[in-house]
Amino acid sequence: MRLAALLLALGCLTGTLWEGLDDRGIALAFGVLVGIGEWARWTGAEVREAAPLGAAGGLAYALLGADAGAATHDGAFQVVTVVCAASLLGNVPHIADGRRPTLDHLTRRVLTVGFAAVCFQPLYSRGALEHMGGPAYALLLVALLVLTALCDAVLAAAQAHARTGWPFGPLLRDELRGLLGIGSAVCATGAVMALAVAVVGLWALPVFCLPLLLTQLSLRRYAAVRVTYRQTIASLARATEIAGYTPAGHARRVATLSQAVGRDLGLSAAELTVLEYAALMHDIGQLSLVDPVPAGATAGLPAAEQRRIALLGGAVVRQTGVAAAVAVVVERQADPYREQPVAARIVRAVNAYEEKARDSGPGGPLTALEELRLATAGDYAPEVVESLARVLSRDCLTLRAAG
């Protein structure tokens, strides 16, 4: 995809240099808008669209047909060239800081804007849209934006799949769900910008920038709240380690491996978040015990004792104000697996694996995995154990630990 974006950018630059730059004032205005949006993009916690202003500005320029009633002649080559140059300039500070996702971000921006421009600009320049009425013209822009948004979702999911190795299907599903949030706001603003500039001119740009600037500020605050919330849960999870009930790093290791298994099984982003929080807090019920469990290993306890600790943990989680879905997973992690939700099945199996692998010496991972497979008839969900085996094999965790 990076190669395709590079070839598209170079081809459009060559075409622009050959044909010359038209409507320089319009190009400058949209270039400044895109550049500011990219410069101000969110670089903290991961969000679906970190630069909504830059995205909307690029899409509006790609779908621009007129300026205050006068037809424009920018063309697809010039649109892609201006957006690419503005995006590069706006991302210079991020590139200088060595933020790797910047290349993926630029790739998506160039390809999505190029897709929209190639779909719209040739039709407009040939006069194919001259006889379309206002409502029909607006519907055409909306349809093109929907197709562009779908293209962007596929690109984002493909990039995430290539970067992480996670299943493509769940990643695409999460991206499509994200279109209902900030994605729809970006598309709507891009369409309105293009229509407004066509009627009243470039003065419409600052007017319609304000809502997206406020949206971007809200995204930053929301992301900051999520980071703080996760840090609070991680701190609560460490209480069992500080008190000496569980080994250091146990909750974090269970949470990391549980998320990998959840992705392999196709859980959505929201379900993965619940799974992570529940895995971090799965042992918190041990704080209610008078006599600590040796090494915090609950997998070898009688079923009744495991359920008692799980119920105590669920009660503690509910008192902390964490989401009720997390408490349900914590308190049901010791139930028979056929009665458990998927997240509880995962936490139960991964916790048992981590405890068994830790206590079985050099060949612990392989031994632990074999024990889980032998217990799938009654204790652990077979599909979860097989998913765990795939994750360990794919990430070479078993081989590294055994060697």
3-state secondary structure string across the chain: CHHHHHHHHHHHHHHHHHHCCCCHHHHHHHHHHHHHHHHCCCCCCCCCCCCHHHHHHHHHHHCCCEECCEECCCHHHHHHHHHHHHHHHHCHHHHHCCCCHHHHHHHHHHHHHHHHHHHHHHHHHCCCCCCCCHHHHHHHHHHHHHHHHHHHHHHHHHHHHHHHCCCHHHHHHHHHHHHHHHHHHHHHHHHHHHHHHHHHCCCHHHHHHHHHHHHHHHHHHHHHHHHHHHHHHHHHHCHHHHCCCCCCCHHHHHHHHHHHHHHHCCCCHHHHHHHHHHHHCCCHHHHHCCCCCHHHCCCCCCHHHHHHHHHHHHHHHHHHCCCHHHHHHHHCCCCCHHHCCHHHHHHHHHHHHHHHHHCCCCCHHHHHHHHHHHCCCCCCCHHHHHHHHHHHHHCCHHHHHHC
Instruction: Provide the residue type at 148 as one letter.
Output: T
The pLDDT score that the predictor gives to residue 237 is: 81
The pLDDT score that the predictor gives to residue 399 is: 36
pLDDT in tens, 362-383: 667 788 888 888 877 678 888 9
Phi, psi angles (nearest 5°) of residue 71 = -65, 140
Burial zone of 69 (CB within 10 Å; 0-12 exposed, 13-18 middle, 19+ buried): exposed
The pLDDT score that the predictor gives to residue 361 is: 61
Mean per-residue pLDDT, 102-114: 84
- Provide CB contacts within 8 A for 396, sequence distance 6+: none
The pLDDT score that the predictor gives to residue 400 is: 38
Question: Which range is most confident: 237-241, 300-304, 325-329?
Answer: 325-329
Residue of higher predicted confidence among 265 and 378: 265
| Percent of residues, the chain, with pLDDT higher than 90 | 2
Of 207-216, 297-306, 373-382, 390-399, the poorest mean pLDDT is in 390-399
- Provide CB contacts within 8 A for 131, sequence distance 6+: none
DSSP of 57-86: HHHHHHT--EETTEEP--HHHHHHHHHHHH
The pLDDT score that the predictor gives to residue 397 is: 47
pLDDT in tens, 163-215: 777 778 878 888 887 777 777 778 888 888 888 888 888 888 888 787 777 77
Instruction: Provide the residue type at 56 as one letter.
Output: A
pLDDT-derived band at 336, boundaries 50, 70, 90: confident
pLDDT in tens, 18-34: 888 888 888 888 888 88
Contact (CB, 8 A) for 54 and 113:
no
Mean pLDDT taken over the chain: 81
Mean per-residue pLDDT, 337-365: 82
Does the pLDDT at position 54 exceed 60?
yes
Domains of the chain, earliest start first: 2-224 (no CATH), 238-398 (1.10.3210.10)
Of 59-63, 90-94, 199-203, 292-296, the poorest mean pLDDT is in 292-296
pLDDT-derived band at 402, boundaries 50, 70, 90: very low
Q: Give the distance, in angstroms, between the CA of residue 121 and the centroid of all CA atoms in the same chain.
A: 31
The pLDDT score that the predictor gives to residue 257 is: 92
In angstroms, the CA 327 to CA 324 distance is: 5
In angstroms, the CA 94 to CA 166 distance is: 26
Neighbours of 241 (CB within 10 A): 17
Own/partner long-range contacts of 177-180 (Cβ < 8 Å, ≥24 apart):
177/268, 177/269, 178/48, 178/49, 178/153, 179/149, 179/150, 179/153
In angstroms, the CA 60 to CA 209 distance is: 12
Ramachandran assignment for 165, one of left (phi > 0), alpha (psi -120 to 50 degrees), beta (any other)? left
The pLDDT score that the predictor gives to residue 395 is: 63
Phi, psi angles (nearest 5°) of residue 66 = -150, 160
Does the pLDDT at position 236 exceed 70?
yes
With H, G, I as helix, E, B as strand and everything else as coil, classify residue 341.
coil
Of 99-108, 187-196, 273-282, the poorest mean pLDDT is in 99-108
Does the pLDDT at position 252 exceed 70?
yes
